[in-house]
């Protein structure tokens, strides 16, 4: 049990996929115009990530590997992520129609969020056991939600700041991401 | 991604990766050396063209609502094909980019090339846009990797991504003046931001005529 907490803390903060491996930055830099939208998108992405990584693990361990068709892994993972994204989109549509009207266009694109596929591929490459896999599937989505909220807040702040013309938009956000990454690397080695 | 609908793709202003953040994950990960940037750039360019052709054909058959899911599966299929080809013919490239090779399955540039975001565009226009975006992507990757490799290691060592044979190598900075930061992920962000700002400043006219 004693090594479970480090896995959880590590995936949420220290090895946060979006902030340290720089996956899904394209989506973090573009999605959501205000706090509510960012939160909805972040929560949806987190749920998709958690559910699809567990389903992918099950599909790989009990179907692809025993049948010897691991070459189909990428197609199966993408299909699983796609189906979970559609389910989440449907859920948002039925529970919060006004929010779906605002983010409905980008919500399905969470299926091509690279952080989600990165987590799945990485877990399968490492050949994780069930319990660490479960913890990673809980921790990493919380980390992704954290990244969504962080980037949303930064974009709101940058919108009212006086940025040099050439740096407006993506470049200044990347500079910010680099600084955040360097700050976060200070936590390396505490667990 | 709404703004993609009526944005013109350009080489300097509105560069697909430096301005519109398409395929940013790949761009950040593979630009640590010019060799891997060249290899992945060529692979992505080929996949973009294939995606544009197949996506254009899919568009004729699939209903508009199903276009995005169908195209996502199409891109995953193309990425798997690319991965298997690279593993077979360019193993050194495969080992240097690692997990980012299968991750092309969720590369938004290839998805953009299938025409999933522009359901009204014609086949020819989609193919033309995709070729332009792919070429601009390769140029951006090479520019960022040049900055990173020169500042990080002091020179360029370009080799053939397929065979691993050396094509050209030279040294610009003495090794005492190199910044190893630029070989790290944080340096990737800094280099990409600087090149993006440079491209945006040079291509200001493109952006103004392109509109949002």
Q: For the residues A10-22, what does the mean pLDDT come to?
A: 86
Burial tier of A127 (Cβ tally within 10 Å: 0-12, 13-18, 19+): exposed
pLDDT at A186: 85
Residue B169's DSSP bridge partners are: B157
Nearest to B189 among A79, A86, A174 (CB): A174
| pLDDT tens figures, B118-163 | 878 888 888 998 999 999 999 999 999 999 999 999 989 888 888 8
Write the DSSP string, B119-134: TTS-HHHHHHHHHHHH
The shares of helix, strand and coil residues in chain B, as percent rounded to the nearest 5, are: 70, 5, 25
Q: For the residues B109-124, what does the mean pLDDT come to?
A: 87
Classify residue B171 by its DSSP letter. E
- Contact assignment for B106 to A75 by CB distance below 8 Å: no
More confident residue, A188 or A180: A180
Q: Which one, of B10, B13, B15, lies nearest residue B27 by Cα?
A: B15
C-alpha R_g of chain A = 17
Q: Is the predicted pLDDT of residue B205 greater than 80, yes or no?
A: no
Nearest to A121 among B21, B77, B103 (CB): B103
Establish if B83 touches chain A: CB-CB under 8 angstroms: yes
pTM: 0.91
Q: For the residues B8-15, what does the mean pLDDT come to?
A: 81
Q: Both tokens of residue A42? A: 């972040």
Q: Which one, of B56, B173, B150, B29, lies nearest residue A23 by Cα?
A: B29
Q: Is the predicted pLDDT of residue A62 greater than 80, yes or no?
A: yes
CA–CA separation, A167 and B39 (whole Å) = 29
Judge contact between B123 and B56, C-beta under 8 A.
yes
Classify residue A23 by its DSSP letter. T
Phi and psi of B157, rounded to 5°?
-125, 90
Q: Is the predicted pLDDT of residue B3 greater than 60, yes or no?
A: no
Q: Closest-CA residue in chain A for B74?
A: A75
Identify all chain A residues contacting B97, using CB atoms and an 8 Å cutoff: none
- Contact assignment for A181 to B189 by CB distance below 8 Å: yes
Q: Which residue, among B17, B18, B24, B144, would best test binding to A if mutated, counting the most A CBs under 10 Å from its CB?
A: B24
Q: Which one, of A104, A107, A103, A59, lies nearest residue A82 by Cα?
A: A107
Identify all chain B residues contacting A185, using CB atoms and an 8 Å cutoff: 186
Of A119-123, A172-176, A183-187, B149-153, the one with minimum mean pLDDT is A183-187
Q: For the residues A163-170, what does the mean pLDDT come to?
A: 88
Establish if B198 touches chain A: CB-CB under 8 angstroms: yes
* Helices A130-159 and A35-59, packing angle to 10 deg: 160
Could you tell me what percent of chain A has a pLDDT over 90?
Answer: 58
Identify all chain A residues contacting B188, using CB atoms and an 8 Å cutoff: 22
């Amino acid at each position: 049990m004693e090594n479970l907490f480090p896995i959880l803390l590590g995936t949420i903060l220290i090895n946060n996929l979006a902030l340290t491996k720089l996956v899904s930055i394209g989506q973090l830099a573009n999605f959501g115009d205000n706090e509510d939208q960012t939160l909805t998108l972040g929560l949806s992405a987190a749920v998709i990530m958690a559910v699809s990584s567990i389903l992918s693990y099950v599909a790989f361990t009990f179907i692809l590997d025993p049948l010897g068709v691991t070459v189909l892994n990428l197609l199966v993972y993408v299909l699983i992520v796609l189906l979970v994204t559609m389910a989440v989109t449907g859920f948002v549509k039925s529970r919060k129609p006004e929010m779906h009207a605002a983010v409905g266009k980008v919500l399905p694109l969470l299926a091509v969020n690279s952080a989600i596929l990165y987590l799945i591929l990485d877990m399968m490459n490492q050949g994780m056991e069930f319990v660490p896999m479960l913890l990673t599937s809980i921790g990493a989505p919380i980390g992704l939600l954290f990244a969504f909220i962080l980037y949303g807040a930064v974009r709101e702040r940058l919108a009212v700041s006086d940025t040099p013309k050439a740096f407006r938009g993506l470049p200044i956000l990347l500079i910010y991401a680099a600084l955040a990454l360097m700050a976060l690397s200070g936590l390396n080695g505490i667990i | 991604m709404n703004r993609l609908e009526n944005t013109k793709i350009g080489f300097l202003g509105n560069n697909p990766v430096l301005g519109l953040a398409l395929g940013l994950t790949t761009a950040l990960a593979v630009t640590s050396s010019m060799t891997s940037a060249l290899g992945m750039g060529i692979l992505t360019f080929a996949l973009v063209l294939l995606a544009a052709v197949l996506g254009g054909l899919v568009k004729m058959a699939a209903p508009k609502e199903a276009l995005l899911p169908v195209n996502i599966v199409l891109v995953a299929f193309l990425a798997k094909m690319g991965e298997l080809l690279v593993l077979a013919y360019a193993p050194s490239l495969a080992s240097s980019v690692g997990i980012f090779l299968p991750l092309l399955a969720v590369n938004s540039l290839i998805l953009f090339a299938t025409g999933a975001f522009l359901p009204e565009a014609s086949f020819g226009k989609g193919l033309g846009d995709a070729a332009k975006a792919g070429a601009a992507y390769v140029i951006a990757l090479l520019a960022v990797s040049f900055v990173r490799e020169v500042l990080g290691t002091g020179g360029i060592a370009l080799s053939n991504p397929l065979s691993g044979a050396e094509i050209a190598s030279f040294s610009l900075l003495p090794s005492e003046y190199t910044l190893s930061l630029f070989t790290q992920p944080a340096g990737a962000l800094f280099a990409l931001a600087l090149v993006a700002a440079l491209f945006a400043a040079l291509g200001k006219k493109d952006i103004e005529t392109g509109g949002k």
